[in-house]
A = this chain, B = another copy of it.
């Protein structure tokens, strides 16, 4: 699979994704993951509470990518400008954490396991709320902020699904912008 990342968390994540793919999530133990990554179980537990956390550990950094882009935007940036900056930044945070190949393998694991799929849904719901919160912190009305949070999550997750499809282009940012343009076109037809 993909090249090894240097630190022990990178090795643990890669090892977990490989083992979950090869043997299934339920059959893989923390001991297996630590052994494959070449670290002790003690090292595993220094970084993660359990094996599920290995798959979701990047959530805070990922969410911060979106939120900070909104907080850092120039005063007067319109709501959709904030949404679009958040999408670009969130995408960059994701790309720093994972290769396209790793994202694809991780997604296949999550999709085939009920509890993991539920966890992933909650992650996206939390992302929508975090984006909305960053918007209201800039004085945007609650209703608009909530809808903008949903727009961001819809565009991100739709672009992400396209990106991990077999043979998809490698540029997630371009896919996101194209997806946002399609949403704008779709919803824009409603004004007439």
Residues of chain A at the chain B interface (Cβ within 8 Å):
78-80, 83-84, 117-119, 121-122, 125, 143-144, 146-148, 150-151, 153-155, 158, 161-162, 179-180, 182-184, 186-191
Residue among B118, B150, B162 making CB contact with A150, cutoff 8 Å: B150
Residue among B78, B119, B122, B186 making CB contact with A144, cutoff 8 Å: B186
B residues within 8 A CB of A189?
78-80
Which residue of chain B has the shortest Cβ distance to A150 in the bound complex?
Answer: B154
Given contacts A121-B125, A147-B155, 5 further A-B contacts (CB under 8 A): A121-B121, A143-B182, A150-B154, A151-B187, A183-B187
B residues within 8 A CB of A186?
79-80, 144, 147-148, 151
